[in-house]
A and B are shown apart, each in its own frame.
Chain A
Amino acid sequence: DQQVKQNSPSLSVQEGRISILNCDYTNSMFDYFLWYKKYPAEGPTFLISISSIKDKNEDGRFTVFLNKSAKHLSLHIVPSQPGDSAVYFCAASAYGTSGSRLTFGEGTQLTVNP
């Protein structure tokens, strides 16, 4: 049972435009959500997170939106840059039931074309 799903294996956008990566979850106990970026031959890099008490968190070009009723979150990158090309993983945790244990989605390969 996949509790965190990223339904788009890949996404291609033009430099300067908006990239929107989506993530759905099924476990209503999840209360903390994270996005990681991964380049080949490197470990995942923490990008941005959001607590379930918020619906938006912004950090520079990156904004994460959380819709709890739809069990959906998205990562917006504006403007997209070629250096943003990487695999993006959505992850979630449920405080109190499993500590900081993360459940990951399958990842979305983002390609930003110059």
Chain B
Amino acid sequence: DTEVTQTPKHLVMGMTNKKSLKCEQHMGHRAMYWYKQKAKKPPELMFVYSYEKLSINESVPSRFSPECPNSSLLNLHLHALQPEDSALYLCASSQDFDGDNQPQHFGDGTRLSIL
């Protein structure tokens, strides 16, 4: 059982829709991450939140907007996405971002399809 919970598991949306992906963890972790994963490829880092503040934005297009309402929750707001944005979106968490030797724990992801 994963300790990082992501909803929804699947999402189909049109290019003009607005939707949000949600991620929750109750491990007391202070760092949370969004990744994008295409088929047969490794996860690509999108955003890092450390202590509820955005630490890293890997030059992600503004149609992806992250939000960290509190230390347990992470959202990814989607608007005007393109077909090439179809992918598995993974959330992960770790004890904190600046600590040494800390694994990241992943959720099962949201499979996103853009029509």
Residues of chain A at the chain B interface (Cβ within 8 Å): 32, 34, 36, 41-46, 49, 51, 89, 95, 99-102, 104-107
Contact = CB atoms under 8 A, between A and B. Distances in A.
B48 A101 contact: yes
A95 to B, nearest CB: 5
B2 interface: yes
Contacts, number: 61
Contact of A43 (B4, B97, B98): B4
Interface in B87-101: 90, 92, 94, 96-101
B106 A44 contact: yes
B43 A44 contact: yes
Given A42-B2, A43-B109, A89-B42, 4 more contacts: A41-B111, A99-B31, A100-B97, A101-B48
A41 B2 CA distance: 13
Nearest to B40: A107
Interface of B: 2, 4, 6, 31, 40-43, 45, 48, 50, 55-56, 90, 92, 94, 96-109, 111
Contacts of A32: 100-101
A100 B40 contact: no
A43 B107 contact: yes
A49 B104 CA distance: 11
A41 B10 CA distance: 10
B41 A100 contact: no
Nearest to B100: A95
Contacts of B45: 101-102
